[in-house]
Structure 1
């Protein structure tokens, strides 16, 4: 049977840790890295969560792979990594990908940047 993108996101969310904005804020205060996987035009248009690191979704696996020449030092398989996108779909799928790569302490911001900003949490312009 064929799966839709909605099916895949729902399945991913059932297998991963889904965090509310207040949980993400607390974890960032305790040293977790927040990775924003939205495309640059999205960040330019709506801003970003202060302290987040930008890694476009299309480059995430390459930036996360410690053997890749594109590896981003801020992505460590042994550290707490939280992903965010606009609404939580892409980040849920991306958490599954990182888990497959050996990241064991990874989660995502459920509802994404949209939920964060709707709650009036800090946003900075890119």
Structure 2
């Protein structure tokens, strides 16, 4: 019987997980950067330009959105620590996407390295 950690490690053996040092170049070359964390996590801060598609909706969203259907798109994925992104990358590869990358260490590694973080601004009621 496998647990979540086992599934993540299995996914990592067949995906392209890029080190944080290569993440900015991969993001610049990407057609889309997808944050697979939950919406509340995304609202707390995210990589600038990322689109939030939570892990639980990813396959459905990509299947139901024609502009995301091109299997040769350059896709970069991330989550909090890279587990959900690894599972997501494996799933997208199974769907036929050819150029999928996951950022090792995820958003936690990104913020720990002092990389820029986008935070939505709340309206001022003053």
Who is 1:83 aligned against? Answer: 77
Listed as ranges, the matches of 1:1-126 within 5 Å are 2-45=1-44, 47-65=45-63, 68=64, 71=65, 73-74=67-68, 76-126=70-120
Q: Secondary structure at the match of 1:12?
A: helix
Counterpart CA distance in 1 for 2:27 and 2:79 is 16
Asked if 2 retains the 8 angstrom alpha-carbon contact of 1:63 and 1:72, the reply is: no
Q: Distance in 2 between matches of 1:56 and 1:72?
A: 18
Residue segments in structure 1 that go unaligned for 5+ positions in a row: none
C-alpha separation between the residues in 2 aligned to 1:115 and 1:14? Answer: 20
The total of aligned residue pairs comes to 120
Q: Is the 8 A contact 1:64 1:76 kept in 2?
A: no
Q: Secondary structure of 1:108's match?
A: strand
Q: Residues of 2 paired with 1:38 and 1:72: CA distance? A: 22
Change (3 A) 1:53 1:13: same
Mark the runs of 5 or more structure 2 residues left unpaired by the alignment.
Answer: 121-126
SS at match of 1:3: coil
CA 28–121 in structure 1, closer or farther in 2 if over 3 Å, else same: same
CA distance change for structure 1 residues 118 and 72 in 2, over 3 Å: closer, same or farther? farther
Which of these two proteins has the greater Rg computed from alpha carbons?
Answer: 2
TM-score (norm 2): 0.88
RMSD, matched Cα: 1.5
* Counterpart-to-counterpart distance in 2, 1:29 and 1:105: 14
Q: Secondary structure at 1:27's aligned position in 2? A: helix
Q: Residues 75 and 110 from structure 1, CA distance in 2 versus in 1: closer, same or farther, beyond 3 angstroms?
A: farther
